[in-house]
Amino acid sequence: MITMPREFRMFCWTLQLENFKPITTVDNFVEVAVRGIQLEWVPVIVTFLDEILSRYQPSELLDWWWSTPSAVSFHDAEGFRNFLTLLRERLARPPFSN
pLDDT in tens, 3-39: 999 999 999 998 876 666 677 788 888 988 898 899 9
- Work out the average pLDDT over 30-54: 95
24 located within any domain:
yes
74 located within any domain:
yes
97 located within any domain:
no
Q: What pLDDT score does 20 carry?
A: 60
Q: What pLDDT score does 26 carry?
A: 84
Residues 6+ apart with CB under 8 A from 8: 41, 44, 45, 48
% of the chain exceeding 70 in pLDDT: 93
Rounded Cα–Cα distance for residues 82 and 7 (Å): 21
Question: Containing domain of residue 79, as a range?
Answer: 6-90
